[in-house]
Each structure stands twice: as C-alpha cells, then as structure tokens.
Structure 1
Amino acid sequence: MPRRRRWGTRWGRLPLRVRLVAGFAAAMLVVLTGAGAFVYLRVRYALDLRLDQDLTTQSAQLTDAARAGTPLPTAARTGPGEYWQLLDTTNHVLAASPGLPAGSLLTPEQLHRALRQPVRADRGTLLPISPRPLRLYAVPVQPGAAPAAGQPAVTVAAVRRDQRDEALRELIGQLALANLAALAVASLVGYRLARATLAPVERYRSEAARIAAGATGVRLAVPATDDEVARLGRTLNDMLTAQDAALDRERQFINDASHELRTPLTLLATELELALRRPRTTTELEQTVRNAAADTADLIALADALLTVGTQPDQDATAPTVDLTALLTDLVERYRTSTGADTLGCRAEPSLTVRGDATRLGRAVTNLIDNATRYGAPPITITADQVDALVRISVHDTGTGMDPAFLPHAAERFRRADTARTSPGTGLGLPIVDAIVRAHHGELRICSASAHHRVNPKFDVPCEHPPHGTTVTVLLPAARP
C-alpha cells in the first residue's frame, strides 16, 4: 500500500474531534507563523534602515577623504562599534581602523561588484551567534575608473550588529513563545468547542444503538436551537416517527393479510375435512373439488393482489408513451361487452399521453370501474382531460358515497367500509390503484359527499366533479413531446 494511502487510512481512523482540532491547529499555526514572519521582517527592516543610514554617513566621509587624498585616520572619525577599511583592486588592505582583524572584510566576489557600484553586505550570522557580526557598506573611490594596483579603489564602512542581532533574537524568542501559547490556547478552545458541538451527535449515536437493539418509541433529545446539529436531530426524529408509522402499517398489513388468508384457508380445510368424514358419492366429491378450486382461486387472486401492491417499480423518463385516450376507450368498450353494462359512459379528450406501463394503468382504471359498479350506483362516467402539464382521469358514480370519516383510510390495504363488508372483495382495489399511481409519479384523490381526500398530495390542481356521489381522480404527468 502506498505511504500516502496508509497515512490517509490512519488519519481516517482518528476521532472526528481530534481531526477537527488538528486541522484547526494547523490552520492557526500557519496564520501565527505568517503573522510572526511579518512582524519579524518589519522590525528587521527598521533596524537595518537605521544601520544603513549610519553607514551611508560614515561611507561618505571615507570616500570624500580617499578621493581628496586626505589620510583616512585623520578624516574618518569613528565611534564605538564603527570601523573602516581602504582596499585596492587586489583586495589588499591599504589602511584600516584599529580593532579589526587582519585581512579584508570583503570577499573577492563582493570586491569585484564594489569596484562598479556600492555594495551592502553582512558579515557573521544571526543564528548561530557570531563573535563579531558586522554590517558593511563598500563604495568605489573612482566609479568607472580602473585604479592601478596599490592605489585606493574601495572604501568599506562597517558597524557592529550586536544590538540589532540581539533585538532580533529576542523578538524571535518572544514570537515563538507567544505563538506557542496562542496555539495551545486555540487548540484547547477548539477541542472544547468540538467536543461540545459533537456531544449531541454522540447522544444521537447512543440512541440509535438503542433503537438498533430493539427499543421502540425512542426519540432524540434535541436542544432548542436552530443550528445544524439541532436540525439533524429533528430530521432524525421525523425519520423515526415515519419509521414507527411504517412499522405499524406493516404490522397492520400482516395482521390483515393473515385474517384475509385465514378465511379461504379455513373454508378449504373444512370442506376437505367434511369430504373425508364419510364416503361420498361422485357428485358430492365433484362439488367438493369445485368448492376447493374456487377457494384456491380466491387465494391466488388475493396473492396476486398483494404482489401487485408490494411490487410496483417506479417509471422513469425512458418509459414508453401510452395513449390514454385509446386505452380508456378500449377499456370501456370491453367492459361493456363483458358485463353488458349500458350505463357506463366515457368522455376523453383526444391525444392524451403519459409515460408508463399501459397494462398497469389499465388495471388501475379497471379497478376504479369495478369499485364504482360494485359499491356505487349508475350512471358511471369516466372523463379524461389535460390540466396544465397533467392528465386527469376521473371515475364518477351517483351512489350514496362513502362516510367522510372513512375517506382517509379508503386506500389502506384491507380497509373496507362498513357498508361494503357484506359484498365480495378483499379491500385491495384502491391500494392497488394507489400503488400504480405512485409508481407513475401521480396523485390519487377520493371525493365523496362533498368531502375531499388527497391520498398522496403532489399537485396544486383543484377538484372538479359533481357535488353528489363519489369521484375518484387520478392525476398523472403528461408525456412531453
């Protein structure tokens, strides 16, 4: 594994608050280092400017005396810590102030440049500490001329840098201590802030662990603030509420499915048991087999209905285009032919198209017609039109309608109104329609006796239907050209 990947893996294993503090400390270190460097450079510039001014004054005196031929020991008055040298073109010292070691203060390269133009240079280092640090200023005696060997060529003014270097070293130490103290305080504050900020997240994790262990009805303790962590807690509480509601629905579904399956299974077992209690004639056995086949067919139909409700894949933009006008017209004609119903009407605008599965959409409309025929009263009217970017399909009957209190439960699985319990059915007709409509990104509405219920609100389209009877409306996105 590459070294960078191993380092990234180790970094990722550190606690989040440690990584936050490390990143914060690194950023602070960069900022403090930059600020310290700026202060150091400004102070050094100010100190060097003062030294350069002194050197310029001293060098002017030396150069004027050298050009006039005046003896430098007489003309150059030096104070404490000030020195001078007079050099020829071979870097030989012609004259020098007392207190300097033997030899030129300039290197051959510095002398070569000083013969053409003034040169400023430093002798000795700030760190480590030099025994005799000097600031030099070399000026040619006759710029542009080529003096003969042994003749004055360059004057060198020098001044001790002890105080300047000491001040800079003390400044570096103070900046280092101040930056380390500021970094330590900032890291401590950052750590406490990160720990306080992530404390609710840790509580959320603990509560989530309890929920994963099987605890129910648990909700997170969310502070009364509006920061990101509080919003996360509220969102998680909403998710837990939705999860509990879904779990309750699934439990109710299992109970209802068990109840619905128990009846045909009990009838089937009872008929078979009675047929085996005593010898039966051929006619009786045939009747028993027919009854068992009918019960088996009911079980198959119930299983198919449950499968339809639970497995409805979402349709996407690549789904084929369905001509709803032709689909509705064909369904109504076939329904009339198979049932002989002459009270079924259809009014559909031409060229209504959606994207989806024609078979499933046809089943949804067929279920709505079956419900209207079984529980409503004729005449039954199917209308289809386009509203903005939606296709609206409505199935209306003129029956007494549903109880307004039952409307919110009409599309729930195995839920049946009290007036419909004595008629055949499993209570899966509208749930199947709802599942198909949701898979096609649509909306289902149930309106009865002036009461309105939107099963899955999605579109801001007003309801339009007669005031009496029951109207079930399906809104689907129209296919784009």
Structure 2
Amino acid sequence: MRFSHRTLISRIVWTTLIVSAVAMTAMVVTVMLVLSALTNKNIEARLRDQLTAVSSTVKVGPDGSLTALEAPDDTIDDTTWIYAADGTLVEGPRVGQRLTATAESLADVRKQTRLDRHERSFLAGPVRRNGKVEAVVVVEAPLEPYESTRNLTLLGLLALALTVTGGSAAIAAWTVKRTLGPVESMAAQARDWSEHDLESRFDTTAADDEFGRLGRTLNVLLDRVAGALRSEQQLTSELAHELRTPLTAIRGEAELTIMASPGPAITERLDRVVALVDRMSITITSLLALARNEARIETRTTAIALVNEVLDHRPDRPGLNVSSDGVEEIEMSVPTELAVRALAPIVENAFTHARTSVEFLTVTHERSIDIIVSDDGAGIAADDLEAVFRSGQRGTGSAGAGLGLALSRRVARTLGGDVNVTSPHGPTTFTLTLPRS
C-alpha cells in the first residue's frame, strides 16, 4: 500500500489499524500456541496417568496367563486395551473398527508411543516384569473436548482482536480529526485568501496552544509576503510607466515620419518599428498584469495559433528548416499574450543554437498540452538542466541578459503549467506545458 498520496489523517489511521492488527495477530498466535502446548501437556498427563494405573493392575500367573485386576476407579473401561507380549488381545472394549485397528497397530511397541488419529489420542506402553515385556497396555482419550475449547477460545480471541483493531482505528480517526481540525480550517482559509484577499489573517486571540502559535507565525509570514508583493507591484508599475513613456514617444515619432511620405523603403522600416513598439507595449501590459495577478485566464488560444504568433515575429534565418507540421489546433485556457511570453524565449533559444533545423510538436493529455520545441544544436550539459532557468544564466556565445528562460518558466507556472528540459541533446528539447480548455 502506498501512503505518499494519502492525507495525514488517513496515514495515521491506516498506521494505527495496521499496527493494531499486527499486535492482535501476534497475541492470538501466541495465545493459541500456548493453549495448544498446555492442551497437549494435559492430554499427555492424562494418558500417562491412565496408562500407569492400568499397567499396575496387570498380573502374570504361574502359567504365564495375564489378568487385569479392576482398580477402585474402574480403570479398565472402553478406552483401554491390554495385549499379551505376542500381540494377542487380552482385554479390550467393544468399539468401532477404526479405533480397534489403531489400538492393534500399537500392540507390539516396546517403549511408550503416542499416536493421534480419528480425533483421539492413543498412548501405548509395555508392562515389564524382571526386565521382560509381559504385556502392552493401550489407552486413549478423545480430543474433541480439547479441540472445542480451543476453537471457542480462538473465536473469542478473533472477535476481541477485531474489536480492538477496529476500535483503535476509530478512536485514532476521531482523535486525529479533532486535533487536526484547526489545521484543515487554516489551510482552507489560506487557499481562499490566496485567490481573493491577501490582507486577511488568522484569528489567534483565543488560542494559546500549538495551533495558536502556528497561526501567529503564519500571520507574520503573510505580512512579509504581502509586503514583498506590494513592493514588487509598485516597482513593476514604476518600470512599466518608465518604459511606456519612451515607447509612446518612439511610436509617435515613427507615425509622424510615415505621414511625411518618406518613401516605400523607409515607410516599411517605420511600420516595422511601430509593430515592434506595439508588441513591446503588449508585453509590458501582460507582464504588469502578471505581477499584479490580473492575468485574464478566461481568454483562450490554440496551440497552432500560439506557435504561429511566435514565428510571425521571429525573423527568418537563412538555411534553417522550421517545421510545425506536428502542432495540432487544440484550445488552451490561457491568454495569447502571456502564452507568447512563455513560448517566445524557448523559440529564441532554439533559433540561436540550432544548426540546421527546429521542430515543433504537440502532445495532448487529459488536462494539459505539451508544446515541444526541438533543435539540433550542441545541447546542454547534464548539470545545467535547471541552471538554464536561473535569472542571469547565459549560454556560451549568448548576447542576451539570461532572463528569457527564467521568465518563460515563471509565466508558464503562473498560467498553471511549466517549462522543462526534456532532452539535453540529440536533439535539445524544451517542453512547455499549458492547461487545456
């Protein structure tokens, strides 16, 4: 049984149940072994006493004839056989053929011999006079009373074991649920606050126990997190404002120049400048919304539209074969502008390091879709698979700032997906995972 995916309460209950079951099983087995040993000892003692009593009544006449004198407690009964030394029956009860045959099989023993058969226990022993075997006495006792007692004891122990095991699990479940109830309530509140309200805090005024101290500690942590988020959002807003102002000026200057009809070649370049400015403005707006947790997750795009959007803004590289035939038109529940920011650095990296080809492929899962980007470049060292996602990490010969892949992973995780290196070389493969609609 695997416990890794179970809740803490279920793990504690199952552990209690298993430990109790093992302990009770060990107890039942131990008691039954002790009971069996005592039962066997009692049967052995009874048979020996009976054999000794009967053997003491056996007398040998001058002519070698055997007689068995009756003991005061009427020892010679339907459980006793007396045989001569040559195996001839001298005295014995009238019983069934199976019991008689079993007794006869012991008629020639020369030492005490015990035999359990047909739910009865037989004990045979020789009667010696002056070192000579004069007779053989066989006695038997029924095992049914002992077995009945043993079976009843076993049933009682099993009922006790089941009661104790079930009771222990029930008590553990009740106790743990009551104990961890505040933790579950705090977790539910934290989930709700993370989506709607970062300013709420746990009420710890009425508790001075471990959970109260935990709540106060978490409140301090939440204050620090909220402060860090406010600082980040303020910094992001200031940076966005500082970037938008020159971009607006650049766009205005380009449009004014276009209005002056400078000629087709210059107009084409200025149009490209305006398009790039618009693209950068959209990027800034998307990143600002991401920093403020205002991403419009309700919007939709498709895998093929996303790949085409990224490739449309990617300048051609002579001699590089780009294949997107393996991309399907599958809808994803992510906004296009943010999905582009997650995929673009991966494509940029592939175009930079590829020798002759870059290939796109999609793999569909039940709740997500993988967009796989492969190139035939030199590859990544095995110890650098996670390092490439660190901010400021630059590859050999890279002219960038080392922020692209780090930003790509951050955006993807914000959208409910991820970015990973799925093959370091032959080919080098990055996989962008995004949620499906």
TM-score range normalised by the length of the shorter chain? 0.3 to 0.5
Whichever of the two has the greater Rg, that structure is: 1
TM-score (norm. length: structure 2): 0.46
TM-score normalized with structure 1 length: 0.43
